[in-house]
Structure 1
Amino acid sequence: MKIIGIKIKILTILLVGFTSLAKAQSGYQIGEIVTDFSLNNVDGKMVSLANYPNAKGFFVVFTCNHCPYAKLYEQRIMDLDKKYAAKGYPVIAINPNDPKAYSEDSFDNMIKRSEEKKYTFPYLFDETQNVAKVYGAKATPHVYLLQKTKKGLEVAYIGAIDNDTEDVNPDGKIRYAENAVDAITNNKTPKITQTKAIGCSIKWKNEK
């Protein structure tokens, strides 16, 4: 009986391990509850989602310094925070890149970028890249809209900020991220909950 009990425990441990591995590989899906993180901000302080008890949700945006797409969307990320932070949905920007791949993405350069552009939101360094892996982030920028519910912070939208990367077609622009949060604040389900994030691939450590 003891041997059977040990085998069950081993199988349970393996199952939990495989589940965690699958989560790291696939990332969060719409409707899932996220776990909190604690990452170093450009001001030297550790930041968690729990630091915002009055927030109704968040725009968690994986972005960086060097990527041309991240630069194209930089002002729009700043505009998201300017428009929605006061409504309870602040931006939390996270740089997941390995700075050895692009020195422009180093923590020191993150500080400089934040100061130059006068970011009104945290700019966090995912040094271990664990947060990006858990979320399933693939590109910079990659947006995850979180909504606070009784169960926790639920993923409401994943993908691009809009469909106009070059920002040249205001009349035909579909503002995915804004439309999603506007729907939520009106107690509606977003019509579009997932799109493809257009941007540079995340620069993973030990990547060949």
Structure 2
Amino acid sequence: MSASPTTEAAPRSPRPRRTDPHRRERIVAAALEVLAEHGVAGTTHRRVAAAADVPLGSTTYHFASLADLRAAAYRALQQRVSQQYEAALAAARTPAQLVDAVTDLVMGDAGASAADWSVTYELYLEALKDPALREVTEGWMATSRRVLERVVDPATARGLDALVEGLVMHRVLSTAPMGRDVVREAVRRAVGAPVDDRAPGPATTPATAPAPAPTGRDGDPRT
């Protein structure tokens, strides 16, 4: 009697891996959202993973620590806002054009959203305590100055860059932000551009003509 042939089970094919080539970028973008909403103290791997819709282990796989993740988020923000800054000033070729372009930039909060500025100020606070993050802030300022130096000298560019930062901060934080005319005049002075003759100047009182000398009945001046 012959033995019945045994049937070998077919080998299982490996489970297909989910391809997600942009997962790291999604995690960084999610970290920016979490930083804007919860600040540094409230930013955790779990919150970032939930916002990015990735497994919790993905954040620690791509970033060794929360500090590394925040630094990557800050760099991503710096690159995006710097590109917007450069695009806003690209057409400026003369000091007068630069004044107009910078004024538009300030009045538009430098093209950044409220969430962007929230994360920016988180970066500033962290950079005060973490010198490594000052590479991000210094790179940001250097990029801005290079754009301005297309029109003005390096010393003027440095001062103008600081002025723009302060003007935008006032607009973001003030309950009564400065109007366009005030902003434009501050920028004009920093650039050293001539006064625009088309702009309304201070009101002047017309000169008063001297009163005619009193005359007598015959029309001769009285003495």
TM-score by length of 1: 0.22
Larger radius of gyration: 2
More strand by share: 1
More helix by share: 2
Structure of greater relative contact order (alpha carbons < 8 Å, 6+ residues apart): 1
